[in-house]
Amino acid sequence: MIDFELEPQVLERTKFFHTVAEHMMRPISRQYDEQEHEEPREFFETIWKGGARERQASGESGADRKGGARNLTTVIMAEELCWGDAGLFLSIPGPGLGGAAVAAAGTAEQKERFLKRFKDGEPKWGAMAITEPGCGSDSAAITTTARREGDYWVLNGTKIFCTAGQRALEKSDGFVVVWATVDKSAGRAGIKPFVVERGTPGVSVIRVESKLGIRVSDTAAIMLDNCRVPLDHILGSPKVEPSGGFKDVMATFDATRPIVAAMAIGVGRAALDFVRDFLRDQRLEIRYAIAPTRMTALERDFIEMETELEAARLLTWRAAWMLDRGIRNSLEASMAKAKAGSSVTRVTQKAVEIMGPLGYSRKYLLEKWMRDAKINDIFEGTQQINLLIVARRILGYSSKELT
């Protein structure tokens, strides 16, 4: 039975996350939206130290034990902090998508070796590089290569749209997990993840993107030019097997798509809360108890927005709950991501529409939330790709049978 009743310690941490969002993120949200490539160093240091104390205080709580609610807690955290600012959330020092790849594909020794660095010391970042100039949603079409030379793997290729890529390679003791093919003839099975640490010869950041939304989060293009990494930096087994390779990519997405869905919900909730508070200040209350036929168009729109976000939240929590219990959640993760991405786009656009010129004005953060929302419908698999995955899982088709 699925039970979403949160444990007391999870509720306490939720309050903590909301406090951070309200008092640390919201006040600087506009500043770092307008100054896109400026680094919020004070925020980084404060949140890093606070996170260390939070991890130490939580210890081996029920939320962290195997079979507990670690992933459910993570999606709740993502929602609360993205209610504050999605770009700042993506900029928080931590293992990030790179850590998710290590957790999904690495051995026990590799998880200990590459992830322990995030426990102490200065702020650090992890990142993941999978998208290429000629390869976006079709991750199986990766052309970046990895060939073995003695005691090293030599990587060559270009990666784009790498979240936190610049900070992971230039400003911290971090790393980027690079997906490359060790055998092009093997297709998907030949795709493997490699840990490229900061300072590795042959890797460089060639561009940092200017973006529509989540602007404070750095998004980098990375070049690998005869980049040499030790043999033990390939995550998992280097052996090419029909059942291997690309499944590690999908395992990573199964863990991260619910987080992206939660991010979307947080942004949507920020817009919804703003509209509700504004209407309340104008002495306009939503009349939930009356029949829909008696409601105003505004009331019907608002309730539909609430319903969209609540449905997305339940799908997201289910996907995280399954992950906590070791249940395969590929279908549910894609369902949550697809629903949340489309819902937050509609909700934030409708919020701006309801507010009219005030919603479009930079006087309020509402227009920013609309800009921040759209990326959730694009990264970690586009809306179309996630719906395709859902269809394949429900109908029992392979990628070759349904494209």
Check pLDDT > 70 for residue 57.
no
Cα torsion 96, 101, 103, 107 to 10°: value is: -140
In the chain, the percentage of residues whose pLDDT exceeds 70 is 94
* Contact present, 132 and 143 (Cβ < 8 Å): yes
Higher pLDDT, 24 or 136: 24
Residue 212: what pLDDT? 97
Residue with tokens 């586009």: 382
Enter the tokens of residue 101. Answer: 């790849």
Longest dimension (CA), the chain: 76
Higher pLDDT, 241 or 160: 160
Burial class (CB in 10 A: 0-12, 13-18, 19+), 382: middle
Check pLDDT > 50 for residue 61.
no
Residue 6: what pLDDT? 78
Any catalytic annotation for residue 54?
Answer: no
Residue 50: what pLDDT? 76
What is the topology classification, in CATH, of domain 126-233?
Butyryl-CoA Dehydrogenase, subunit A; domain 2 (2.40.110)
Give the contacts of 46 (CB within 8 A, at least 6 positions apart).
Answer: 24
Residue 300: what pLDDT? 96
**Domain ranges (residues) in the chain:** 8-118, 126-233, 246-395
DSSP 294: G
What is the topology classification, in CATH, of domain 8-118?
Butyryl-Coa Dehydrogenase, subunit A; domain 1 (1.10.540)
What is the value of pTM for the model shown? 0.92
Q: DSSP assignment of 30-87, as one string?
A: HHHHHSTT---HHHHHHHHHHHHHHHHHHTT-TTTSTTSSHHHHHHHHHHHHHHH-HH
* Contact present, 301 and 355 (Cβ < 8 Å): no
Q: What is the pLDDT of residues 287-313, one digit of tens each?
A: 999 999 999 999 999 999 999 999 999
Do domains 8-118 and 246-395 share one topology? The answer is no
> Distance between CA 246 and CA 226 in Å, rounded?
23
CATH says 246-395 is which class? mainly alpha
Question: Is residue 245 very low, low, confident or very high in pLDDT (cuts 50, 70, 90)?
Answer: low
Average pLDDT, the chain: 91
Q: Which one of the listed residues 22, 310, 380, 401 is annotated catalytic?
A: 380
Query: Kind of pairing, strands 152-163 and 203-208?
Result: unpaired
Residue 68: what pLDDT? 66
